[in-house]
Chain A
């Protein structure tokens, strides 16, 4: 059991005397402090002679109560006196939480901020894109300043190390598409069209789209978190002062790696999806594996491959730019890193899907239906 500080009230010739007992420590004061806060009545003297130990919290409690009742503190040891003096000198009435504005001011303020943020954000992202473009022009003029090592490292992180997960995901998607497609097409006796469905859908849409989503989740978030942390620890400021442009050293390799890797990953994903489709077709539809692949060549027009390959680098660009942009916007604290990382992923996926819809309409219009 824990020992708590206690008190008793004594009457000494008409003067109320509060006698405190036991240790007045942070670990024992919990009850006494609450008693005293609800205590009613006059007290003229606080007697500490029966206390066994005291720390600053005990001293503070005594001091606060003595001040409130204008009581005199007696029986204090040397140490108690010292502590009382120390906490008295350190007393403060300042706020602990950051100042909070009135609700009726805060709401319109916040709305205004949101609107402004939107336009400021738009301007900032244009400025950011501008920096990237300028930087690429510089790099074209001075190719020796290109960070080859960082680029290769990012190629590995964005591309090579995601092969397994993207391959598995695509394989499974291929299975789902072929299986569900077959179930519907069977009603018309058109099961053989499962091959067209799987081949065209994955090469044209799903392969690249799912890859972009995966890369946004894996690499876009990593870009944002890493750059954000570097901003917090002033690494990016340090780079600038040395004359190293963060755009050149950090952002360009990441963007280029994503742009370069996305078509490869997208195509790889499509191939894996087709293999998944062929696999399930062999198992459930009785279409031999190799026949499935053979038929793909005949039924998928080559422009479907082009559609996928054209979209992929654009998606890669979007994912990398959003990730890097959000990372560079971090300031203040670690919570911001989390928020910005989330934003990077959400915005990247959203923009990729919106753009994908535009592409779908566009390519149909130009006759690549």
Chain B
């Protein structure tokens, strides 16, 4: 096939425009966000800024509205008041299915995985590719799906399996593979390590960190896992009282005297996680000194 024919073919199917890469400092800016389910107000006057290239951990008690916050940012949750800008575009003004040039630039891992149950894992990964980049060669799509599956820490043969044939942890990884399909700039992870065994969880953390660094991702990471917080988050946002009550690095948060934060980080589990990071850091130092 000649190059003209290829140009013709690609021109026929490719979307007219693709959004530019985001160069601003804050891919997500939330101001005065209020969300509610009927009478039940989940957020009230919530402000949050996420910096480009950081891994932001979001913590908070169960039911404080972490998942709802994520759904609001990705435009799935109607907002009562306030403004959410993603890549500089106001998401609250858009209709749920309206294309405003942000959907191809984020990847979302839902709490339950939310894989398409009638498609295999590999086909799940191909869905966003076909949606946004139909000009890609069929063979390239297959290849992308394959390496993303392995990149997400699944065994090779998982690509041809259906979601119902996977374990809970594997579903999470498959969800991650689909979230990563488009090489997004922004990655949303809702409790990715919940329900994983400690070894699997540690690997998932490592993977997230590795991907964030290699791909220059901004990660919005909801988690309950203190080890994850210590291991991979640049900053942590604490959700309580319908607001983000504090954002900062963990040492900064430890200074805070909010009772929930104190209890969270200085409770028995918090201290165990602190101790283990301290240990591994000192081991790192020794290793380096020895080398």
Contacts and interface: CB of A to CB of B under 8 A. Distances in A.
B143 A30 contact: no
Interface stretch (A90-98, A242-250, A306-314): A90-98
B202 interface: no
Interface stretch (A49-57, A140-148, A219-227, A340-348): A49-57
B10 interface: yes
A56 B142 contact: no
Interface string B110-142: 000000011010110010010011011101101
A253 to B, nearest CB: 28
Contacts of B9: 34
Given A25-B183, A333-B164, A38 B147 contact: no
Interface string A125-161: 0000000000000000000000000000000000000
Contacts of B145: 96
B136 A29 contact: yes
Nearest to A38: B1
A33 B137 contact: yes
A2 B104 CA distance: 15
Contacts of B149: 92, 94
B160 A95 contact: yes
B18 interface: yes
Nearest to B11: A31
Interface string B138-179: 011011111111110000111111111000000000000000
A95 to B, nearest CB: 4
B160 A99 contact: yes
B62 interface: no
A303 interface: no
Given A83-B214, A87-B151, A94 B182 contact: no
Given A30-B133, A38-B1, A90 B6 contact: no
Given A30-B14, A94-B156, A333-B162, A37 B139 contact: yes
A334 interface: yes
A247 B242 CA distance: 43
A92 B148 CA distance: 9
B163 A333 contact: yes
Q: Most B CB atoms within 10 A — which of A27, A30, A93, A97?
A: A27
Contact of A56 (B129, B133, B151): B151
B134 to A, nearest CB: 9
Contact of A333 (B10, B16, B117): B117
B214 A33 contact: no
Interface string A233-267: 00000000000000000000000000000000000
Interface in B77-120: 104, 117-118, 120
B275 interface: no
Interface of A: 2, 25-27, 29-31, 33-35, 37-38, 53, 55-57, 60-61, 64, 79, 82-83, 86-87, 89-99, 232, 331-335
Interface of B: 1, 3, 6-7, 9-10, 14-18, 21, 104, 117-118, 120, 122-123, 126, 129, 132-133, 135-137, 139-140, 142-151, 156-164, 182-183, 210, 214-216
